[in-house]
Structure 1
Amino acid sequence: MHRSPTAEAEVAGELAALRPDLAARYAAELPGARAAVLTRLWRALTHEPLPWIERREAAGEGWVLRLRDGRRVHGPVPDPYATGAYVTAVRLDEVAYEDPARLMTDLAVPHGTDFARELGHSVASMALSRAGQPAGERAWPARDWEWEQRVVDGHPYHPGCRSRPGFSVAEQLAYAPEHRPVVELGLLPVPEEACLVTGDWPADLRDGGRVLVPVHPWQAAHVLKRPAGEPLAGHPLMSLRTLALPDGPHVKTALSARLTSSVRDISVGSVAAATALSVFAEELADDRLHFTRTLGAVTDGSPELAAVLRESPEVYAGAGERVVPVAALSGTGLAEEPGWATEFARLALTVGLRLLERGVALEAHGQNLLVVLSATGAPLRLVYRDLADIRVGPARLARHGISAEGLPARILTDEVTALRRKSFGSLVGGALAGVTGSAAALRAALESVVRDLPDTPDLAALTGEPLPVKALTLMRLSPGTPGDQWTRLPNPLV
């Protein structure tokens, strides 16, 4: 078996010096982390339009991928909706690989070296994240940020699910939510006349004529390279750069590090549009869907120094209810309870298709989409946060008497394919697939629901065509191609 020791060895060395008590657990978690990342990579190799793969075909009890240079990659029959780690090794010609970084290196495809490095970081960081978890069962959390800390493995389908290049072990332990730290944000004073401020920036984040901009400590040390004033404590959420403040609101900070797929800066355009998008979303809310309001946003004119304040989703929980990110539902046991996944799918599809028919496609993956649970765990309502990447169809809106005036041009499109991709790819291919965990379970959750939904062209596309999802690996291997790229998965309903 081939292994790439680089990232794993680096983390092991830092851990031995910093937290020797975790060293043995880290080493024990490495095989499982390799399999988890390799499973995600195999999904990409078997289903994304990678230009160096000529064709894919069944071979015995597995699949074979024929590369354009004549080599072959052999692996198990893929389930593109499976979560976890069911792929422990694949073969490139006659050589078996259990390490995804080593496999990507030896595939020797364009831009593969950098991606292999990210895969190595993903494995090492996932093993570190798993090693830091408390032993035994944990009670259901009481606070929203505690739910976020339960998401240990990151994105269920991205091979770079835990890639954190540029973060030392000490920084991962100090800032990553799954390690349950309290992070001290700096407050950087900026003259108000030098800032773009939208919404109501709170008085306690002002100092005379200066705006106090919350700054992530990693950003202050590595990008801004200057101290950021007195600290403001917060609990990191699963995006790492967003934190829950003690008095309730969440603050999204700029973080110029590549996490999973993208650098987490905050564009000037996002700050400028924050209030308009929040007001627009309030018009769409109903008794089954809430949107967290943006309270205020600020930037000094650069994406490296900006922050957004928004409501905590907890404000939409009634007595005895919990608001849980969909990504954190794994491990609760709810999806295994008879009928629960079907009822959750019914709620999610009813809301999602109704919005899409009105012209709004949410980026409703497991991080942005939250579900309000009753005291017994029944799914009651949805909460959506972070409107920056939604897509809006002005023509569809107009048919319902809703104006798109004031919304940023970059989110506007009447292209039906673009709207459906955004909606179906995140809600079904992301949130629902991640909760159910396999093609068979996803089909079981969906099939009775879709029969009861209004018969619309969008529903016909959802149930009769391949399911569009982002081609996450293709995007990482195409650094010169901006924007999202897509692939289509077998539709579990067909």
Structure 2
Amino acid sequence: MSTAAAGGLPAQTYATHDHATYDHAVHDHAVHDQAAHDQAAHAPAAQSDASRAIAVPETDDPLLHPDATVAADCAATESLLRCWVRETDLGEPPGGVLRLALGDGLLLAVPVRYWSASGWHRFGRARLVPGASEHPGHPVDAVTVAALLARGSAPATSLDGAVPRHIADLAGRVADSVRRTAGFIADRRRAPEPALGTTPFLTPFLDSEQALLLGHPLHPTPKSREGLSEAESAAYSPELRGAHLLHWFAVDQDLAAADSALPEDAAAITASLRGEDGPPLPPGTVALPLHPWQARELTHRRAVRELLDAGRLHDLGPSGSPWYPTSSLRTVHQPGTRYMLKLSLGLRITNSRRENLRKELHRGLEVHRLLSGGLGQEWQAAHPGFDVVRDPAWIGVDLPGADPAAANGVDAVIRQCPFGPGDQAHCVAGLVAERPHSTAAGTPARSRLGDLIHTLAARSGRPTPTVAAEWFLRYLDAAVLPVLWLDGHAGIALEAHQQNSLVLLDAHGLPTGGRYRDNQGFYFRESRAGALEARLPGIGRASGTFVPDAVADERFAYYLGINHLLGLVGAFGSQRLADESVLLAALRGFLAGPSAAATRSTLPALLLDAPTLRCKANLMTRLHGLDELVGPVESQSVYVTIDNPLAVVGGASSGPVRTHQTSGAPQ
């Protein structure tokens, strides 16, 4: 009997029984890269020169500081520094200390706990040091770090007179993010995650949606939510396991706007979701679901206020059963309900106000109709474990005199919910998210990914790095190949960053498939316009989804290549689950292998061969004061050029490059 089977894992579903099997699995993916095969076959626990841990005791992890506010501030400082290192293309500092000259004779000195080839560095407490002295310096908070880094970036960003305004905005958002993160950490420390099944509403899907306590590891203000009170935060925040009722308006039918690719129309769906405790719909109206924060906000907007006063829009108030916010806040989920709702929410969350645009609503229907035909059948035949979470209907209001292309704050997406209460469907960002609290046994909590890998290793009796590398290879097959197939065979590139990506796991925690969500995040390649038009006449006319191939290449490389895949490698490395150099070599082997070639996507060659990659710069985007959902896709955010760690693994070399320009796409 194999050790896997002896540990409770069926041999036929867990092909990691011995090193020979593992060596064979890696060889299949890395046959074109002998270095990958040699490294992965031995799967060393020690870190390589490219990504190694500095000798800092784990108990000194600043994220585990007993004061939740200090832990939150340290997390914010780490995010700022990761952004700065990436966006200014800094290399690994000598001596295990990052030293940044700030001007005026000041130096920011930060111990490096872990240097990541993929960008997920870990840092200790930052100190402000007089540059020419031997003084050890003074601890410095995240808001001060943000302001000092922002001031230092002014010559590079060409902000000139706008600099003070943008610096103040950044500092304010950092402070807001730290304050909210401290509350999230304190709440989880008081009540760590309950076991699945002990709380009626907690499903595996919702559990991972509520797991992002610290947020995007390469964003300067990951938890900034300006305009949300403490009471509202408790109800609307997934990190606090919030829940709230929907607020309902009724809109006269002559003002209502809607579309549906389902047998039932959007108005029938929303009417079924209201519950029976609300007032009846006035005659000749349809039910419009709203986020409660947005409902209050809308009553102060002139166009909406006039419709309410004229009796053409009716405020019905809250009703129904509670809905639970997912990781985006504005998409809400009610376990047991066939639909989720992606609501308009005018809060500034990270970089943008999250109000639905009409073109995005059209895009969701286009994709559903496209995949409901021959393309979807072809895709499912090749990759039956993967699909798009569909947005097949929407409902809203045509505000009199308003620009139909602009966000009106009222429109809502009706999203299908394909997950049952027992389905192991996990947001990838939630799976890898660090947990800055202790377990019930008093030991530091691992990420959900860490728990998975350690459990698999314990059951099989095999080294943790070996199991981690195999899980990663399975993940590439289950959740990445299908995304490459859709690009190569159909010309549709997905904005598949970690928060938009869901992985499906079997009963043992092994990847078996995935889902992609987000009607904002589709790029139709202009070179494939004819073929897509033949599949769905009129596609793209209302949604504005076609982009030049060069734009699709840049976005696809960033969202899937850098944010998603390199971010996953960095999570494995920084959490001491695997050696990043092994995973990078395995990723190269996967990209160079026959399965990736069969997808016909151009992304594998780009990631393998390009010495540099274009990378979204969240800190610089913030310093330019950009809202990433406003304006043309080519100029919504700042992109910089960074060295490609996959090319470095493969032997290519490139010097530091520090160019940047505005370029589009959120997250």
TM bin (shorter chain): 0.7 to 0.9
Q: After superposition, what is the alpha-carbon deviation per residue over 1:61-91, rounded to whole angstroms, capped at 9, x for unaligned?
A: 3444556999765545653745585342154
2:483 maps to 1:483: no
- Correspondence for 1:161: 222
> Structure 1 length as normaliser, TM-score?
0.83
Structure 1 position 26, deviation (Å): 11
Q: Which residue among 82, 87, 98 is the counterpart of 2:140?
A: 98
Equivalent-residue separation in structure 2 for 1:490 and 1:435 (angstroms)? 18
Q: Flag the 1:195–1:202 CA change in 2: closer, same or farther, 3 A.
A: closer
Equivalent-residue separation in structure 1 for 2:424 and 2:99 (angstroms)? 45
Q: Flag the 1:185–1:84 CA change in 2: closer, same or farther, 3 A.
A: farther
- Correspondence for 1:410: 544
2:379 maps to 1:297: no
Q: Which residue among 107, 116, 119 is the counterpart of 1:79?
A: 116
Q: What amino acid is aligned across from residue 369 of structure 1 in structure 2?
A: S
Equivalent-residue separation in structure 1 for 2:121 and 2:204 (angstroms)? 26
CA contact (8 A) 1:198 1:274 kept: no
Q: Flag the 1:470–1:447 CA change in 2: closer, same or farther, 3 A.
A: same
Q: What amino acid is aligned across from residue 395 of structure 2 in structure 1?
A: V
> Structure 2 length as normaliser, TM-score?
0.63
CA contact (8 A) 2:118 2:645 kept: no
Q: What amino acid is aligned across from residue 103 of structure 1 in structure 2?
A: V
Q: Flag the 1:26–1:179 CA change in 2: closer, same or farther, 3 A.
A: farther
2:286 maps to 1:231: no
- Correspondence for 1:45: 84
Q: After superposition, what is the alpha-carbon deviation per residue over 1:381-436, rounded to whole angstroms, capped at 9, x for unaligned?
A: 111111222211032364687557322463211323x2122222222322334444
- Correspondence for 1:9: none
Structure 2: unaligned runs, 5 residues or longer: 1-63, 132-136, 155-162, 197-201, 272-280, 306-314, 399-406, 433-446, 457-466, 628-634, 649-667
- Correspondence for 2:293: 218
Q: Flag the 1:278–1:175 CA change in 2: closer, same or farther, 3 A.
A: same
CA contact (8 A) 1:397 1:403 kept: no
Q: Which residue among 475, 480, 484 is the counterpart of 1:349?
A: 480
Q: Flag the 1:68–1:458 CA change in 2: closer, same or farther, 3 A.
A: farther
Equivalent-residue separation in structure 2 for 1:201 and 1:265 (angstroms)? 19
- The count of corresponding residues between Structure 1 and Structure 2 is 462
Q: Flag the 1:312–1:145 CA change in 2: closer, same or farther, 3 A.
A: same
Q: Which residue among 492, 500, 505 is the counterpart of 1:373?
A: 505
- Correspondence for 2:21: none
Q: Flag the 1:90–1:132 CA change in 2: closer, same or farther, 3 A.
A: same
SS in 2 for 1:130: helix
Q: What amino acid is aligned across from residue 41 of structure 1 in structure 2?
A: L
Structure 1: unaligned runs, 5 residues or longer: 1-24
Q: Which residue among 452, 461, 471 is the counterpart of 1:334?
A: 452
Equivalent-residue separation in structure 1 for 2:562 and 2:636 (angstroms)? 19
Higher relative contact order (CA 8 A, sep 6+): 2
Q: Flag the 1:404–1:117 CA change in 2: closer, same or farther, 3 A.
A: farther
Q: After superposition, what is the alpha-carbon deviation per residue over 1:1-40, rounded to whole angstroms, capped at 9, x for unaligned?
A: xxxxxxxxxxxxxxxxxxxxxxxx9981111111111111
SS in 1 for 2:614: strand
Q: After superposition, what is the alpha-carbon deviation per residue over 1:199-247, rounded to whole angstroms, capped at 9, x for unaligned?
A: 1214253444212111111112234348552423311111111111352
After the TM superposition, which residues 87-486 of structure 1 pair with which residues of structure 2 at under 5 Å, given as runs? 87-89=124-126, 91=128, 94=131, 96-107=138-149, 108=151, 109=154, 110=163, 111-133=166-188, 135-136=191-192, 138-140=194-196, 142-199=203-260, 200-203=265-268, 205-206=270-271, 207=281, 208-225=283-300, 228-232=316-320, 233-246=322-335, 247-282=337-372, 283-284=375-376, 285-286=379-380, 287-301=384-398, 302-314=407-419, 321-330=423-432, 331-332=447-448, 333-335=451-453, 337=456, 338=467, 339-358=470-489, 359-396=491-528, 398=530, 402=535, 405-407=538-540, 408=542, 410-416=544-550, 418-436=551-569, 437=571, 438=573, 440-441=579-580, 442-443=583-584, 446-452=587-593, 453-455=595-597, 457-465=602-610, 466-479=612-625, 482-486=635-639
Rg larger for: 2
- Correspondence for 1:4: none
Equivalent-residue separation in structure 2 for 1:306 and 1:123 (angstroms)? 31
Sequence identity (%): 26
Equivalent-residue separation in structure 1 for 2:319 and 2:501 (angstroms)? 30
Q: After superposition, what is the alpha-carbon deviation per residue over 1:461-489, rounded to whole angstroms, capped at 9, x for unaligned?
A: 11222343311111111126841321244
Q: What amino acid is aligned across from residue 395 of structure 1 in structure 2?
A: S
Instruction: Please identify, of 306-315 and 130-139, the stretch whose mean Cα deviation from structure 2 is larger.
Output: 130-139
Q: Flag the 1:201–1:490 CA change in 2: closer, same or farther, 3 A.
A: same
Superposed CA RMSD in Å reads 3.1
2:163 maps to 1:61: no
Q: What amino acid is aligned across from residue 139 of structure 1 in structure 2?
A: A
SS in 1 for 2:144: helix
SS in 1 for 2:513: strand
